[in-house]
Amino acid sequence: MNDIHHITCNGRFVGSIQNISQDMWYLDGAWWPADTPEVRWFDQHVAALVPENVLRYPQQGRIVQVTEEGGTGPGFPALVLGLADGRLLLRMVSDEGAAAL
């Protein structure tokens, strides 16, 4: 896995994760938000998430697309669980219907 992945939400680049750790369907990485006014809403939403609640009620989270920096593939959808100690917490989504939350 490449060490830098780009995160897009609703087709907009919102930031990157680096120094990625992965355990089965879960991954996290140091969060580097994009510094644009248009995506500050994403940072505010993510900062307010409680990972345990999002796991219980996935509709509280946010579906994003994760792509490798320099990669040519489409990447994969993931559910944002929250932000902890400057790391974005994600769970990969393999169900097309679930990714359409």
Average pLDDT of the residues in 70-88? 90
Contact 16, 68 (CB under 8 A): no
Domain count, the chain: 1
Rounded to whole angstroms, how far apart are CA atoms 12 and 1? Answer: 22
Q: What is the pTM of this model?
A: 0.87
Q: What distances in angstroms separate CA 96 from CA 51, 63, 71, 76, 99, one per listed residue? A: 22, 11, 22, 11, 5
In the chain, which ranges are continuous DSSP H helix? Answer: 40-48, 51-56, 96-99
Task: Say yes or no to pLDDT of 32 above 90.
Answer: yes
For residue 41, what are the domain limits? Answer: 4-99
Residues 6+ apart with CB under 8 A from 76: 65, 66, 92, 93
